Amino acid sequence: MTTATAFSAPVDCTVKYRPFPPVGLTDRTWPNATITKAPMWCSVDLRDGNQALVEPMGWERKLRLWDMLIAMGFKEIEVGFPAASQTDFDFVRMLIEENRIPDGVAIQVLTQSRDALIARTFEAVRGAKHAVVHLYNSTSTLQRKVVFGLEKEGIIDIAVKGARLIRSLADSMPETKITCQYSPESFTGTELDFAVEITEAVMDVWQPTPEHRMIVNLPATVEMAGPHIYADQIEWFARNVKNRDTLILSVHPHNDRGTAVAAAELGVMAGADRVEGTLFGNGERTGNVDVVTLALNLFTQGVDPQLNCSNIAEIVETAEYCTRLPVHPRHPYAGELVYTAFSGSHQDAISKGLNALRKSNQPVWEVPYLPIDPADVGRGYEAVIRINSQSGKGGVAYILERDHGLQTPRRLRIEFSETVQAITDTEERELSPDEIWNTFETDYLSRDTADNPWSITEYTTIPLGREADSPRSLKALISHNGTTTAIEGTGNGPIDAFVNALNAAFTLDIQVLDYHEHAVGSGADAQAICYLETTVGGKGPLFGVGRHTNIVMASLEAVISAVNRSGRARYQG
């Protein structure tokens, strides 16, 4: 019986929502740009990320995240909104007073354009070597109307008034290098000419120069359109704002449409010098742009990201601890499952790709389905191939080779993967590498008498002539269901002689179709492993596998393994 899902009548989106108007930049240049160097990064984890948390970080979590950001190599870190909360204020003071800010790192602090808040912000950064004071006010058509109830002039007044106070406070604090930053907040909902107008009004106050530039941050406070529109907006702004060379142009994408990473990348192509974002994209609503993904996207294009992501597990663990939010198992580069293939054809290609790369010894990473070498972010290869009902012979063979050195022949792979498939289908779950190995051992190598009535206890063999290819005679003791029988036969080699002896003594009708063997391990621990494809009593083809320090014994064990396996349920009836 099926249950119908209850859906309400769909809302008429053609009435309720409007398409975002295009920028009308017909001679855009950004599509032809290539990113050849990393942008300046600013982490806003401790501010924008923090303000979006159910439980904002206390000083201990903030400090742990700060230490991680420093270790990763961030040179600008927005540490809070010190005028808004005592925790943020105290945190900034702690960084300064405990001398925790390395040389070359600037702390950034956010403030609204309100005198008391600005004054308190400057109190917070007193004594820092370098601080970025970040002033914002919303400039969008919607916020002008519903939040501020002001015309454009009124909005410009708010920005200019704040900018003036910042300038005078900065001038009164010569011991601290102050970089001024202005964000026309809700930039993506602002007419572009107005965004330029208000920014230029702030520039008139701060008087940036090419030597002492100010940061203009153009946030997609809400991601309202596709990333190509954002790129057009950035390029339009960069082309139209005055004295571009006195500005550091920064982007600050949010992820409402799920395309913040693309927006940041296209924004940089469109001329942005700097990106503000957070680890794994924590932040308001659907988050800020994910700087780890951005950095590793650069890395996989051969561009040094200037951020160290070589221990992704530790970055994830720290971010999860500090934000109390999980990183999704499918998160780019960082998720638990992103270096794992379950599906057969992916596993086959990955396994072949890794082999080819190993053999070729070439430095360029080329493995199908793996855009980055897991080792480059500190992840191992153990989880690259995991086995469930979607997996095929390539994946199973990969595990046997990786963990146990078995180079199984192709048809044995097919045979064994059917066994594995039957288990994963029946049990509807993943099989661990240990379970796969146990299954293989039990089926092919076990000497457990309940399932393996046949065994060989000893053998001797001698050549019947002086030539290297002379026929051989072989004697062996065979146990069958607890009864030991001495058998003897001759043949072209030990296997042939053994098979002839078994066939004669027990009328088993063993035919050998194919034979492979190789060594596993080295030195005193080396063992021979032998794979024999056979038919037994007309059943098969089926494989037997033998393993022994003595190469002849390994092949005789393989014959016995085939005989035992021919009695298994899958070969009966």
Place of tokens 């989106």: 13
CB 306 within 8 A of CB 41: yes
How many CA atoms does the CB half-sphere of 26 hold within 13 Å? 0
- DSSP label at residue 253: E
Q: Any contact of residue 114 with ligand ACO (CB under 6 A)?
A: yes
Q: Any contact of residue 25 with ligand ACO (CB under 6 A)?
A: no
Using the rule CB under 6 A, which residue among 28, 45, 48, 125 binds ligand ACO? Answer: 48
CB of 351 to ligand KIV, least distance (A): 45
User: What phi and psi values does residue 461 have, to the nearest 5 degrees?
Assistant: -145, 145
CB of 254 to ligand ACO, least distance (A): 8
CB of 48 to ligand ACO, least distance (A): 6
Site for ligand ACO in 166-195 (CB under 6 A): 185
77 vs 117, beta carbon nearer ligand ACO: 117
CB of 273 to ligand KIV, least distance (A): 16
Token digits for 455?
A: 């065994």
112 vs 246, beta carbon nearer ligand KIV: 112
147 vs 422, beta carbon nearer ligand ACO: 147
CB of 113 to ligand ACO, least distance (A): 4
Amino acid found at 68: M
159 vs 529, beta carbon nearer ligand ACO: 159
Radius of gyration of the chain (CA): 35
**Residue 331 marked ligand-binding:** no
**Residue 509 marked ligand-binding:** no
Token digits for 66?
A: 């700060």
Reduced DSSP (H G I as helix, E B as strand, rest coil) percent helix, strand, coil of the chain, to 5: 45, 20, 35
252 vs 516, beta carbon nearer ligand KIV: 252
* Contact residues for ligand KIV, defined by CB under 6 A: 48, 110, 136, 183, 185, 217, 219, 221, 252, 254
Q: Any contact of residue 348 with ligand ACO (CB under 6 A)?
A: no
89 vs 398, beta carbon nearer ligand ACO: 89
147 vs 375, beta carbon nearer ligand ACO: 147
CB of 87 to ligand ACO, least distance (A): 11
Site for ligand ACO (CB under 6 A): how many residues? 15
DSSP result, 111-151: EES-HHHHHHHHHHHTT-SEEEEEEEEE--HHHIIIII---
CB of 1 to ligand KIV, least distance (A): 49
CA distances to 23, 74, 95 from 107, in Å: 34, 10, 9
List the beta bridge partners of residue 455: 479
List the beta bridge partners of residue 278: 290
CA distances to 51, 219, 298, 508 from 230, in Å: 24, 10, 20, 76
In the list ligand ACO, ligand KIV, none, the entry touching 349 (Cβ below 5 to 8 angstroms by class) is none
182 vs 531, beta carbon nearer ligand KIV: 182
Using the rule CB under 6 A, which residue among 30, 41, 74, 81 binds ligand ACO? Answer: 81
Using the rule CB under 6 A, which residue among 25, 70, 129, 148 binds ligand ACO? Answer: 148
User: Residue 541: is the preceding peptide bond cis (ω within 30°)?
Assistant: yes
Residues 6+ apart with CB under 8 A from 82: 88, 89, 91, 92, 109, 111, 120, 121, 123, 124, 125
> Stretches 108-116, 327-335, 464-472, 533-541: which one binds ligand ACO (CB under 6 A)?
108-116
> Stretches 107-115, 242-250, 297-305, 532-540: which one binds ligand ACO (CB under 6 A)?
107-115
In the list ligand ACO, ligand KIV, none, the entry touching 252 (Cβ below 5 to 8 angstroms by class) is ligand KIV
CB 108 within 8 A of CB 124: no
Whole-angstrom Cα distance, residue 183 to residue 112? 10
Say how far residue 251 (Cα) sits from the centre of its chain: 24
Using the rule CB under 6 A, which residue among 30, 66, 136, 280 binds ligand ACO? Answer: 136
User: In what order do the strands lie in the sheet containing 483-491?
Assistant: 454-463, 472-480, 483-491
In the list ligand KIV, ligand ACO, none, the entry touching 393 (Cβ below 5 to 8 angstroms by class) is none
Q: Any contact of residue 255 with ligand ACO (CB under 6 A)?
A: no
Residue ranges binding ligand ACO (CB under 6 A): 48, 51, 81, 84, 112-114, 117, 136-137, 147-148, 158, 185, 221
Annotated binding site for Mg(2+): 48, 252, 254, 288
